[in-house]
Structure 1
Amino acid sequence: MDPHKILSYAYLTEKAVGLIEKENKLVFVTSRTADKSQIKDAVEKIFGVKVEKVNTQVKGREKKAIIKLKPEYKAIDVAVKLGLTV
């Protein structure tokens, strides 16, 4: 599956911004059919970072992925690449 089809868009709320700043995590809305390993590979390929862990949540019609980056990479740098102001 194409990495750009797996990651729909960055999910940005107050809680998600807190995760970016404090826990080095990013939150994306993803394809419902994508599994954790596909999400991990997509993030690593698109943003050039290493992923430590992926947690997923399915609520209603959307699937969210909370992605923890390895300590040598900063989630805030990825957020800036996406054009998010944190």
Structure 2
Amino acid sequence: MIMHDILLKPVVTEKTTMLMSDGKYTFKVPLSANKVEIRKAVEAIFGVKVKSVNTLRITGKMKRMGKYVGKRPDYKKAVVTLQEGETIEFFEGA
């Protein structure tokens, strides 16, 4: 995989914004991505040192529209903790 294919998009919510002050940044990643690939992608794209990577596999919710039943897609979230003093400028405006 190419580095830019691993980090699909940042997850910006109230909770993740509060985590940014602790040096933790959250990204949506493909289901096939592992922690080593995520670490290398963040270090290469943003030029920072990663301390740890935690991943969560989120299952999609079942949704109904009248009598039709569908399912939202599954996805994986990665919470990346950076070394002390490191920040990602991309998130500073958020």
| Paired amino acid for 1:79 | F
Using the size of structure 2 for normalisation, the TM-score is 0.80
Equivalent residue runs for 1:4-83 within 5 Å: 4-21=4-21, 23-60=22-59, 61-75=74-88, 77-80=89-92
Q: What is the aligned-residue RMSD (CA, Å)?
A: 1.1
- Give runs of ≥4 in structure 1 deviating > 3 Å: none
Overall identity of the aligned pairs, in % = 36
2: distance between equivalents of 1:64 and 1:38? 13
Using the size of structure 1 for normalisation, the TM-score is 0.87
Secondary structure of the residue that 1:71 maps to in structure 2?
Answer: coil
Structure 1: unaligned runs, 5 residues or longer: none
**Deviation digits for residues 26-78 of structure 1 (CA, Å, limit 9, x no counterpart):** 00000110100000000000000010000000011110000000013124x34
The higher radius of gyration belongs to 2
* Higher helix content, 1 or 2: 1
Secondary structure of the residue that 2:39 maps to in structure 1?
Answer: helix
- The alignment of Structure 1 onto Structure 2 pairs a total of residues equal to 80
